[in-house]
Amino acid sequence: MTYFLIALAMLTGIAGCGLGYRAYRRCNLLREHHDQLVGRFRQLESDLIQANKRFCLDKALRLPESTTAVCTSQHGEDAWLWEQFDFKPEGRYVEVGGHDGRTFSNSYFFECIGWDGIVIEANPALAESCRQTRPQATVVHAAVVSDPVVQEIEFMIPQGAPGVSLLGFTREDPSHVQRIRNEGGEIQKVSVPAVTLDAVLTKHPIETIDFVSIDIEGAEMDCLQGFNIDRWQPRFVLIEDNSGGLNATVPQYMQSKGYGLLRRIGCNLVFERQHTATGYSSAGRS
């Protein structure tokens, strides 16, 4: 009887091991399948972005006063935006965090096709680059803040490794600092002029703003709190989000101002003004 129980226990253990192995193998297969689907989706997304860019550049060449247009957005935001505006040849933009005026710019393409706008950049060297690369735009050298009383602010400029100069910031975030150091960069602190976005728009008035792009490495809420969005009413607002959607502060704030989260493009959240007075809401449309 004892031998029988031992044998039964061994058989049960072997069967359990077999079931466990099959479950483990199945999980691995599912994970591999998931990774393959993600890879294929990203490739399709990349192909779609490139197709949109080619289509928009072809449309730009057909404009009456066409120039050599270039799509410079990191994830095709400029091509997508122009399509939303029905490829109109004239419009107005505001870009907060202009960098060098061209690299990953969401507005450079629009200047190429004849739009007017404002580019704001806090880094002194990059602001000067903006003036060279964006001759038709109004370039403002300043850091955008929430408090109109603040006239000057300390700005951190990453230096050293290629590309880190685009990661300058005013609001210190330990993870952001670590990211810069991980890429071999060091941080130089300088004092720069400080303005609210309202102050910039009052000094350089734009009658109608088609879109605002905000990419200022964690200081997006400072910009929004110094921006009377009810007054200026841009149709679209693009805001960088490096939290992967985990931080709901900006979406909740924008929702409270009547802007619905339309979609995510790369690291940018795209908000569109909701026309609730006429019963029309664009939130959720892609």
Cross-strand pairs, 193: 152
- Residue 249 forms part of a structural domain: yes
Q: Alpha carbon of 215 to those of 63, 104, 121, 184, 242: distances in Å?
A: 29, 10, 10, 22, 10
pLDDT at residue 277, rounded to an integer: 37
**Order of strands across the sheet with 259-265?**
138-141, 116-121, 92-96, 211-214, 236-240, 268-273, 259-265
Residue with tokens 């989260």: 261
Q: One-letter amino acid identity for 5?
A: L
**Across 136-150, 164-178, 199-213, 216-230, least confident range:** 164-178
- Residue 10 forms part of a structural domain: no
What is the DSSP secondary-structure string of 144-200? E-S-TT--EEEEEEEESSTTGGGG-BSS--HHHHHHHHHTT-EEEEEEEEEE-HHHH
Would strands 143-144 and 138-141 be described as parallel, antiparallel, or unpaired?
unpaired
pLDDT at residue 245, rounded to an integer: 77
Q: What is the pTM of this model?
A: 0.78
- Residue 220 forms part of a structural domain: yes
- Residue 206 forms part of a structural domain: yes
Count CB atoms within 10 A of the CB of residue 171: 16
**Across 30-34, 86-90, 131-135, 163-167, least confident range:** 163-167
- Residue 163 forms part of a structural domain: no
Q: Alpha carbon of 131 to those of 42, 73, 186, 265: distances in Å?
A: 35, 19, 26, 27
- Residue 165 forms part of a structural domain: no
Residue 223 CA to residue 210 CA, distance in Å, equals 18
Domain CATH number, residue 201:
3.40.50.150
What is the DSSP secondary-structure string of 60-71? HHTSTT------
Show the domain range for 106: 47-148+193-273
Task: Look at residue 279 and tell me whether its pLDDT is greater than 70.
Answer: no
pLDDT at residue 212, rounded to an integer: 98
Would strands 143-144 and 211-214 be described as parallel, antiparallel, or unpaired?
unpaired
Domains in the chain, number: 1
Q: Which residues contact 11 (CB under 8 A, 6 or more apart)?
A: none
pLDDT in tens, 109-154: 999 999 999 999 999 999 999 999 999 999 999 999 999 999 999 8
Mean pLDDT along residues 234-255: 92
Q: One-letter amino acid identity for 77?
A: E
Residue 213 CA to residue 180 CA, distance in Å, equals 23
pLDDT at residue 94, rounded to an integer: 98
